Amino acid sequence: MNHFTLKILLPGFIVALAFSSCQKKQGTVWDDNKTASQLNHGGSSLWGADGEDSSLAGPVAEDFIPLQEEDLKAQLADGAIPQPFETPGEDGSSLPNAAQFHAPSGELAAIFHNLYFNTDDHILRGQEQLSMISAAAAYLKAHPKTFVFVAGHCDQRGPQAYNLALGSRRANYIRTLLVERGVDPNQLHTISYGKEQPLDPRNISEAWSKNRRAEFKIFNKS
Amino acid sequence: MMKSLFRFFVFLVTVSMLPSNADESPSEIKIYLSTTNPLTPLYLANYQTDSPYLIQLRDILQQDLNHDGLSSVMAHSEEKDAILRNENKNIAFHHLTWKAFGAAHVIVSKITNSILSISLFSVQTQSLKHLPPYKLSGNIAADRQVIHQASDLLHKLLYGKDGVASSRILYCVQMPGGSKSKPWVSEVWECDWDGANARQVTAEHSYCVTPVFLPSSTHNSNDRFIYVSYKMGQPKIYVASLNEGLGKRLVHLRGNQLLPAISPKKDKIAFICDASGRTDLFVQHLHPQSGKAETPQQLFSYPRSTQASPTFSPDGSKIAFVSDKDGSARIYLIPSEPSAKRAIPQLLTKKNTENSCPAWSPDGKKLAYSAKTKGVRQIWIYDFVTGEEKQLTDGPGHKENPAWAPDSFHLVFNSTGSEQAELYVVNLNQPETIKITRGPGKKDYPAWGKR
């Protein structure tokens, strides 16, 4: 997209965005619920308009107003691939609720096994874990109708509320690694459970290590 | 020397209060007294009754008064009760008599034909006031509320301030879900300030966390709340009424939305969201009356960092939140009005590491938060007036998620453990904590609101 095209299309896009935004504001939230069908899941990007790595960005921002900071544009280096517009389980979504994504079994269990983090860390350590990411990426690229929830978990020792956020950061980091290896971002959703769902409730180091994890749940769209 | 004597005195007070009530102050939680305002001695007369029900009501009134942070109910004595039974008011309420007993005020309550009447005698002013009569129903849940209302009126008459006895607390209870697909469920519950009248509010059979009251625009009761539910799979923010408990989606964004906070004017909601792929602080303008939402805005994002737990200043102009952008998680301040460029956050808490879950007091003067202190998460108070950070709780057992009462003087927080989590109430002037929850399930994420 050249500069001229941007100059012509961008104002139009902003006007369209304003209208779609107004559409979402019908009704009152305190009294009435909004439905997903009121949401406009379009495909243009405010970040993309700046011409920054839009091919890597996956789904783009239009349902929120992003900060315009240079240091936020290095997406892959920072685990910042915007989430898919589609919320599984929402009215109009082609994907079911996360509860209907299943734990990998059979051959998938060998590919999508749990990944583990160090304390208060969101980076994967060790070649073995990165190899698993590559294998998972290869599978997902070969199976574009397979969708994945990456669930981020923390151990019991951290603060409850903060861990809800940390779980999100871990899940997004794994998602970014997969996108970096060529997986369509729309195949990948994240969910954070913080420390609410430990695998091992014991209060020992071995249990904590098991609980600082990313888990995969799979759904095959026929 | 004086400091040592004072510490010893505090220790004695703490220890002497421990056995008085099985539900009070488990030995593992102690409180650092940050203020030493003396408590006002009150004498609360005994009814002449053998009715367990009436005795229970009297005990509720005594507990309300004893934990209002300013009063201390004196021990009962038949001698004092006999004086108060004298039909000659000049004898029953003679100021010199009560001055000699060391009482600053005397409270006499009577129940006749289901009507509760309460009189308040102030020794210094020698004045006798009669509260309006209260109709009792015989239903303990309803009559508890009546006693709490009377207690708050007494508090107002005694100290000129609103009490919190009539207020209520929201929290979550985590229980086994009973199935492999739902190993755990968590629902929102409500209880009185003292833990009584606990009832389940939501019935989503899902995972609900971090409820906060929706501010009331009329200074009346808080009857709606916002919370996070996993009922759609990903955590999303909902609003519900306490009567119905049916969550309606409030924020429509992709990804995970967590840890919501709402401004006291109800015109902004702040939350944590990973729509961008980062764990960012977002803010969204709302119409205060209708709740109609504007487009959400990314308020603070920082490479390779996690943002968490926003809380608004009372005027809504600032947000305190947690970020690990500089290493360990600490609490920062930022203007709540978004702009294209992110504001430079001001570091607030410097004493400890692993700071979490800040809660701004309604009077704007204090920030309660949890911080790792000698290996244990304790509740700390940041004083905006002095800029000092003071430790409130002590002892083993992690304490998290402090929430202020409407009076900015009482706090509720939850202990955390791998198998047990309970709620505790404390005020800034008494060394006693009260464990207010019991029974099965882990109780956490409390919020305190008006009734």
Domain boundaries of chain A, sorted by first residue: 3-78, 98-220
pLDDT 10s digits, A179-208: 999 999 999 999 999 998 888 888 889 999
- Give residues 78 to 107 of A whose Cβ lies within 8 Å of B: 78-90, 97-99, 101
The side-by-side arrangement of strands in the sheet containing B389-391 is B353-360, B366-373, B376-383, B389-391
> pLDDT at position B32, please?
58
- Residue A211 in contact with partner chain B when CB distance is under 8 A: no
- Pick from A83, A202, A203: which is nearest to B277 by CB? A83
CA angle A209, A212, A216 (to 5 degrees): 120
CB contact under 8 A, A63 and B255: no
| Cβ-defined contact of B308 to A36 (cutoff 8 Å) | no
- Sequence-distant (6+) residues with CB within 8 A of B311 are B261, B319, B320, B321, B358, B359, B360, B367
Q: Which of B213, B212, B249, B224 is nearest to B234 (CA)?
A: B249
Same-domain check for residues B172 and B216: yes
- Whole-number pLDDT of residue A53: 37
Smallest CA-to-CA distance from A66 within B295, B256, B251 is with B295
Is B16 inside any structural domain? no
Query: Beta strands of B233-365 (E only): which ranges?
Result: 234-241, 248-249, 257-262, 268-273, 280-285, 297-300, 307-312, 318-323, 330-335, 346-347, 353-360
Question: Which residue would you say has higher pLDDT here, B356 or A50?
Answer: B356
pLDDT for A203 equals: 85
pLDDT 10s digits, B396-422: 889 999 999 999 999 999 998 767 899
CA distance A15 to chain B (A): 14
- B226–A contact, CB cutoff 8 A: no
Q: Are residues B443 and B390 located together in one domain of the fold?
A: yes
How far B94 CA lies from chain A's nearest CA (Å)?
55
**The residue to which tokens 């779980």 are assigned:** A167
The candidate with the shortest Cα–Cα distance to B345, out of B366, B315, B370, B320, is B320
Distance from CA of B132 to the nearest CA of A (A): 36
Chain B residues with CB-CB distance to A27 below 8 A: 292
Phi/psi of residue B260, each to 5°?
-75, 150
Which positions of chain B have pLDDT values less than 70? 1-37, 217-220, 418
ipTM for this prediction: 0.87
Nearest to B258 by CA among A7, A64, A160, A97: A160
pLDDT at position B181 is 75
Would you list the DSSP string of B235-273? EEEEEEETTT---EE----SS-EEEEEE-TTSSEEEEEE
Average per-residue pLDDT in chain A? 76
In this structure, are B284 and B174 located in the same domain?
yes
A206 vs B: CB within 8 A: no
pLDDT for position B289: 85
If asked whether residues B333 and B405 sit together in one domain, one would say yes
Helix (H, G, I), strand (E, B) or coil at B226: strand
A93-118 mean pLDDT: 92
The answer as to whether B14 is a domain residue is no
* Number of domains composing chain B: 2
Across the interface, of A66, A159, A171, the residue whose CB is closest to B276 is: A66
Is-contact B90 B137, C-beta < 8 A? no
Q: What is the CA radius of gyration of chain A?
A: 19
Judge if B103 and B251 occupy the same domain: no
Q: Are the beta carbons of B259 and A190 separated by less than 8 Å?
A: no
Residues B186 and B214 in one domain: yes
**How far is B66 from B41, CA to CA, in rounded Å?**
10
Strands A146-153 and A188-194: parallel
- B204 in the same domain as B150: no
Which among A30, A191, A198 has CB closest to B291?
A: A30
State the Cα–Cα distance between residues A125 and A210, nearest whole angstrom: 14
Q: Is B11 among the domain residues?
A: no
Residues B305 and B268 grouped into a single domain:
yes
Buried residues in B257-293 as b, exposed as e (16+ CB within 10 A): bbbbbbbbebbbbbbbbbbbbbbbbbbbbbeeeebbb
Q: Does A65 touch chain B (CB under 8 A)?
A: yes
Provide the residue type at A124 as one letter. L
Give the end of a domain, one of B140, B159, B178.
B159
CA B365 from centroid of its chain's CA atoms: 16
Domain identity same for B78 and B180: no
pLDDT tens column, A109-121: 999 999 998 887 7
Chain pair A-B, CB pairs under 8 angstroms: 230
B242 in a domain, yes or no?
yes
Q: How far is CA B448 from the centre of its chain?
A: 4
- What per-residue confidence (pLDDT) applies to A39? 35
Quickly tell me which residue has 């009372």 as its tokens: B314
**The pLDDT value given to residue B49:** 77
Short-list B214, B209, B215, CA closest to B225: B214
Mutation choice for B interface testing from A29, A93, A191, A195 by most B CBs within 10 A:
A29
CB contact, 8 Å: A142 with chain B? Answer: no
Cα dist from B372 to A124, A159, A218, B356, whole Å: 26, 9, 38, 9
Q: Are A216 and A150 in contact (CB under 8 A)?
A: yes
Which CATH number is B128's domain given? Answer: 3.40.50.10070
Contact assignment for B290 to A29 by CB distance below 8 Å: yes
Specify if B15 maps to a domain. Answer: no
Counting Cβ atoms within 10 Å, is residue B94 exposed (0-12), middle (13-18) or buried (19+)?
A: middle
Locate the chain B residue with the closest alpha carbon to A83.
B275
Q: What residue type is A217 in one-letter code?
A: K
Residues 151-210 of B with CB under 8 A from A: 174, 181-184, 186, 207, 209-210
Q: Are strands B40-44 and B105-112 parallel, antiparallel or unpaired?
A: parallel
Taking Cα atoms as reference points, which of B407, B390, B412, B411 lies closest to residue B34? B390
In 3D space, the residue among B146, B124, B123, B202 whose CA is nearest the CA of residue B170 turns out to be: B202
Question: Given an 8 Å threshold on Cβ–Cβ distance, is A30 in contact with B214?
Answer: yes
Residue B173's identity, in one-letter code, is V
pLDDT in tens, B337-375: 998 888 999 999 989 889 999 999 999 999 999 999 999
| Torsion angle in degrees (nearest 10) through CA of B216, B226, B266, B312 | 110
User: Residues B155, B221: one domain?
Assistant: no
Residue B123 in any domain: the answer is yes
pLDDT value of position B48? 73
One domain, residues B134 and B244: no
Distance from CA of A142 to the nearest CA of B (A): 24
| Distance, CA of B313 to chain centre | 17
CA distance B34 to B386: 13
Interface check B216 vs A, CB under 8 A? no
Last residue of a domain, one of B159, B181, B206: B159
How far apart CA A41 and CA B253 sit, in angstroms, is 10
Among residues B132, B159, B186, the one where a domain terminates is B159
Q: How far from chain centre, in Å, is Cα B370? A: 15
- C-beta separation of B13 from B431 below 8 A: yes
Q: Do B233 and A98 touch (CB under 8 A)?
A: yes
If asked whether residues B43 and B173 sit together in one domain, one would say no
* Identity of residue A56: L
CATH of domain A98-220: 3.30.1330.60
**Parent domain of B237:** 168-449
Q: Which of residues 150-169 of A touch B (CB under 8 A)?
A: 156, 158-162, 164-166, 168-169
Tell me which H or E stretch contains B388. none
Q: Is B297 on the interface with A (CB under 8 A)?
A: yes
Enumerate the residues of chain A whose CB falls inside 8 A of the CB of residue B322.
161-162, 165
User: How many CA atoms are closer than 13 Å to the CA of B295, on its beta-carbon side?
Assistant: 18
> Residue A219 CB: number of other CB atoms within 10 A?
19
CA distances B279 to A165, A194, B34, B324, Å, are 6, 13, 35, 11
